[in-house]
Amino acid sequence: MIRITKGRAVALAAPLLALSATLASATPDRPECIAPAQPGGGFDITCKLAQTALTDAGVLEAPLRVSYMPGGIGAVAYSTIVGQRTDEPGTIVAFSAGSLLNLAQGKFGAHDEGDVRWVASIGTDYGAVVVPADSEWESLAAMMEGIKADAGSVILGAGGTIGSQDWMKAALTARAAGIDHKSMRFVAFEGGGDCATALQGGHVDACMNDVGDSQAAIDGGAPLKLLAVFAPDRLPGKLAEVPTAAEQGFDIEWPIVRGFYVGPEVSDADYQWWVDAFETAMAAPGYAALLESRSLLPLPMTGDELDAFVTEAVATYRTLAGEFELVQQ
């Protein structure tokens, strides 16, 4: 598993005056953020965080519009950017740890992590277990005992098919509980938002979702509750009462980096504009509050640092996928 240090400082790439000149000279006319899923999930949250942060920091002259391109938990968007929209200077695409896990398993076809330009990581989410507010389970331990007693009686929902990060969280938890992960009843959805909707409709018993989109649904009035977070420590603020999986006997951490990439043929100048723009936005006084309002924690990385992180993360996920005998191409 990848362990991420919280609260890292942002290092600006250039003095503010020079940076301002760079931003002004290359500002995209019609900036777009592609969320590679339906509205309401983690990719949507990621794009809308950028939309607000870049506007608040004053680095965009035109609003960042958000468009949706669901399919394969990011595979359709990745293929489109690599194969058809290779050099669009104003287009960024949201990615998460799930995107990197899919890349590690060859789920993006012939494409790999070297086929795009990684721009910025703007925060980290954590995996979470969410159930209906009136669920009989009051803890992750109780839910796993229910699965252990009768695996067929519990339907788990998640974004993505076998091998997705949500499936992986379930498989890791099952392994820690002494349960054969192959016995789990698993229903795949396009994203966390779809799973939360199915949960409210009684179609699944629990979702292996993320903190950000789960808490957003709860804040919006959804009758749901969190049983656990896959974080090293309890999270701050409103989430402080939610125990970690480790506290309940499952030593599992699942950080979910959230960030952006651009096409492989975007020019160095346009790529650097986005790098500088995100560094400026993440250094702004109000950025910490934007993260907190979305139940995210800081993870500021840009440019070469993020590229190195992605390379290491994909290698780690490839090893983990091998442990569960997942098909790789």
Q: What is the pLDDT of residues 246-280, one digit of tens each?
A: 999 999 999 999 999 999 999 999 999 999 999 99
Question: 327 falls in which pLDDT band (50, 70, 90)?
Answer: low
The average confidence (pLDDT) of the chain is: 89
Distance CA 186, CA 170 (A): 9
Whether 24 has a pLDDT exceeding 80, the answer reads no
Distance CA 131, CA 214 (A): 10
| Lowest mean pLDDT across 57-61, 186-190, 283-287 | 186-190
Q: Hey, which CATH number is domain 16-125+256-323, 3.10.20.30, 3.40.50.300, 3.30.9.10, 3.40.190.150?
A: 3.40.190.150
Distance CA 151, CA 291 (A): 37
C-beta of residue 188 within 8 angstroms of C-beta of residue 164? yes
Distance CA 319, CA 105 (A): 10
C-beta of residue 257 within 8 angstroms of C-beta of residue 113? no
The phi and psi torsions of 95 (rounded to 5 degrees) equal -135, 165
- CATH 3.40.190.10 positions along the chain are 126-248
180 membership: H or E segment, kind and range? none
Q: Hey, which CATH number is domain 126-248, 3.30.499.10, 3.40.30.10, 3.90.550.10, 3.40.190.10?
A: 3.40.190.10
C-beta of residue 274 within 8 angstroms of C-beta of residue 131? no
C-beta of residue 35 within 8 angstroms of C-beta of residue 68? yes
**Residue-level pLDDT at 238:** 87
**Residue-level pLDDT at 55:** 95
- CATH 3.40.190.150 positions along the chain are 16-125+256-323
Please compute Rg for the chain using Cα positions. 19
Q: Give the other-Cβ count within 10 Å of 6's Cβ.
A: 14
Q: Once rounded to an integer, what is the mean pLDDT over residues 54-66? A: 94
Locate 243 and state its tokens.
């125990």
Whether 5 has a pLDDT exceeding 70, the answer reads no
